[in-house]
């Protein structure tokens, strides 16, 4: 009987019927895909903070960072201008950076840079954590959302000056519904579930009282910093246990997120430039050393070939600078004492017509963090020699060998990049103009003084 049925249906399967069935199926499938895509876009746009706008670039200005056109050999005589290629901020210290096209320059560096830190409690002491011990922090992504002219002033996130949206891979085994949701939301079959939470940028006094937020002291390297403990904000509290598992923080240790406030900023006391230039010492929130960190792309290009083949090319992003520049010969920035940023970018947005000067205060002493691959959150080494299990860490081994400029600090793993402090005169001029002092990609660097830097940022020198 079965054979009879089969014969019957096969005889009705004319080429015409097959084409019809296939076209209908295809049409239904396309309608399904389009509907799903529209539904996803609606869902995602609804999840965005309603009264805020996203502040950050989607396409990176460093995409072509390895292009040989950014090569400039050491001591090469160069006639082209030195330009700003990319600008970055890192609101939560040690997490993935946010790239911007323009950044507001302040006495504490670029606005929103390193103003949050993650800390753990260990034997009754709170201590910040970084990629030095938790390399997976590189995979914690952050988005910055800020109010705009038409924002509703009654919205609590607008009152907080905006928010951070933080997301990281969910450390727990996914349930199939979460997997499907992740695929649907990211429109990618390989997508895995993520944890997301929103943090108010700077809770005001009313929000601080309402949420019961308290100041907490914690240690950043050798100094004690202080900040608002945001761990009891319900959305943050809900995400912290997963964040602990993601970072492999032991269960018995507490973990929290801290935010510096205008009252908890401290003046820098090392590598002070003469006050006749800077006016007042730089202030910092949670930066390690100094407010503005610059990296000259040609220096990274000159260092890259010194690495073992398997560790090339060297990504400039491993150095977590605020300002990536190009045009100067490799390592030339190590001789700069002061420079000015000429507002050359063709911009339509309002900003102060000021060329702010910055004092270059010291070389950047490197640690193990450049060894973390920013894309994978893993420490990297060179290939292991046959007699060993593991190769030497890179690029730090190469930096120690070729870029050690002082013998005063055995803990420094070589030097690359420079620390800078904005001088007060630029801020005064901007206030006189009633405009904000923005620095933009495409602005030009004019070196105004050169000299010798004896030590890195862990020494004390100018």
Ligand X SMILES: *[C@@H]1O[C@H](CO)[C@@H](O)[C@H](O)[C@H]1NC(C)=O
Minimum CB distance to ligand X smaller for 217 or for 401? 401
Minimum CB distance to ligand X smaller for 25 or for 75? 75
Binding to ligand X by CB under 6 A, coded x per residue (else -) over 28-67, reads ----------------------------------------
Site for ligand X in 278-317 (CB under 6 A): none
Minimum CB distance to ligand X smaller for 315 or for 335? 335
Minimum CB distance to ligand X smaller for 74 or for 401? 74
Could you tell me the smallest distance in angstroms from the CB atom of residue 302 to ligand X?
9
Cβ atoms of residues 461 and 357 within 8 Å: no
Could you tell me the smallest distance in angstroms from the CB atom of residue 90 to ligand X?
33
DSSP 354-414: ---EEEEEEEEE--SGGGEETTTTEE-BPPPPTT-SS--BTTHHHHHHHS---SS-TT---
Minimum CB distance to ligand X smaller for 21 or for 75? 75
377: Cα separation from own chain's centroid: 13
Minimum CB distance to ligand X smaller for 36 or for 73? 73
Cβ atoms of residues 68 and 298 within 8 Å: no
Residue 76 binds ligand X (CB under 6 A) = no
Could you tell me the smallest distance in angstroms from the CB atom of residue 331 to ligand X?
8
Count of residues near ligand X by CB under 6 A = 2
Could you tell me the smallest distance in angstroms from the CB atom of residue 94 to ligand X?
34
| 300 phi and psi angles, rounded to 5 deg | -70, -40
CA distance 387 to 360: 44
Number of residue whose CB is nearest ligand X:
75
Residue 74 binds ligand X (CB under 6 A) = yes
Q: Report the candidate in 349, 296, 345, 308 with the shortest Cα–Cα distance to residue 443.
A: 345
Could you tell me the smallest distance in angstroms from the CB atom of residue 104 to ligand X?
36
Site for ligand X in 226-265 (CB under 6 A): none
Q: Length of the chain in residues, anyone?
A: 462
Minimum CB distance to ligand X smaller for 222 or for 407? 407
Could you tell me the smallest distance in angstroms from the CB atom of residue 333 to ligand X?
13
Could you tell me the smallest distance in angstroms from the CB atom of residue 73 to ligand X?
7
Minimum CB distance to ligand X smaller for 75 or for 253? 75
Could you tell me the smallest distance in angstroms from the CB atom of residue 72 to ligand X?
12
Residue 75 binds ligand X (CB under 6 A) = yes
DSSP 290-358: -SEEEEEHHHHHHHGGGS-GGGPSPPGGGG--SEEEESSPTTGGGGEEEEEEE--S---S-------EE
Instruction: Please give the C-alpha separations between residue 166 and each of 43, 169, 347, in angstroms, as whole numbers.
Output: 18, 11, 30
Joined tokens for residue 257: 């997120």
CA distance 304 to 310: 11
Tell me which residues touch ligand X (CB under 6 A): 74-75
């Amino acid at each position: 009987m079965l054979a009879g049925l089969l014969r019957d249906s096969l005889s009705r399967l004319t080429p015409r019927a097959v084409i019809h069935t296939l076209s209908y199926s295809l049409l239904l499938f396309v309608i399904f895909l389009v509907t799903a895509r529209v539904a996803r876009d609606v869902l995602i746009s609804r999840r965005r903070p309603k009264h805020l706008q996203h502040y950050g670039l989607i396409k990176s200005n460093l995409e072509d960072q390895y292009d040989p056109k950014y090569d400039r050999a050491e001591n090469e005589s160069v006639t082209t201008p030195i330009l700003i290629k990319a600008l970055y901020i890192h609101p939560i210290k040690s997490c993935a950076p946010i790239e911007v096209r323009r950044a507001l320059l302040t006495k504490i560096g670029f606005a929103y840079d390193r103003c949050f830190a993650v800390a753990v409690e260990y034997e009754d002491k709170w201590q910040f954590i970084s990629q030095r011990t938790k390399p997976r922090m590189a995979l914690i992504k952050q988005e910055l959302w800020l109010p705009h002219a038409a924002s509703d002033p009654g919205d609590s996130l607008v009152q907080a000056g905006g928010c951070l949206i933080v997301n990281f891979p969910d450390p727990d085994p996914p349930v199939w519904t979460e997997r499907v949701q992740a695929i649907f939301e990211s429109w990618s079959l390989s997508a895995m579930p993520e944890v997301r939470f929103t943090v108010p940028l700077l809770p005001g006094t009313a929000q601080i009282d309402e949420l019961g937020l308290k100041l907490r002291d914690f240690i950043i390297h050798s100094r004690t910093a202080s900040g608002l403990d945001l761990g009891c904000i319900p959305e943050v509290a809900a995400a912290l246990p997963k964040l602990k598992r993601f970072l492999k923080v032991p269960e018995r240790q507490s973990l929290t997120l801290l935010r510096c406030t205008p009252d908890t900023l401290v003046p820098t006391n090392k590598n002070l430039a003469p006050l006749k230039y800077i006016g007042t010492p730089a202030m910092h929130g949670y930066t390690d050393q100094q407010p503005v960190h610059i990296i000259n792309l040609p220096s990274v290009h000159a260092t890259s070939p010194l690495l073992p083949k398997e560790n090339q090319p060297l990504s400039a992003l491993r150095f977590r600078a605020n300002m990536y520049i190009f045009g100067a010969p490799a390592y030339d920035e190590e001789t700069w004492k002061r420079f000015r940023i000429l507002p050359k970018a063709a911009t339509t947005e309002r900003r102060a017509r000021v060329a702010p000067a910055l004092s270059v205060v010291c070389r950047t002493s490197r640690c193990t963090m450049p060894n973390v691959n920013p894309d994978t959150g893993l420490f990297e080494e060179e290939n292991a020699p046959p007699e060993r299990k593991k190769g030497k860490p890179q690029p730090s081994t190469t930096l120690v060998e070729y870029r050690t400029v002082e013998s005063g600090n055995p803990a420094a793993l070589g030097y690359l990049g420079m620390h800078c402090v904005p001088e007060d005169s630029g801020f005064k001029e901007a206030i006189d103009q009633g405009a904000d002092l923005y620095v933009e990609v495409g602005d030009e660097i004019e070196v105004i003084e050169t000299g010798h830097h004896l030590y890195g940022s862990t020494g004390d020198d100018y």
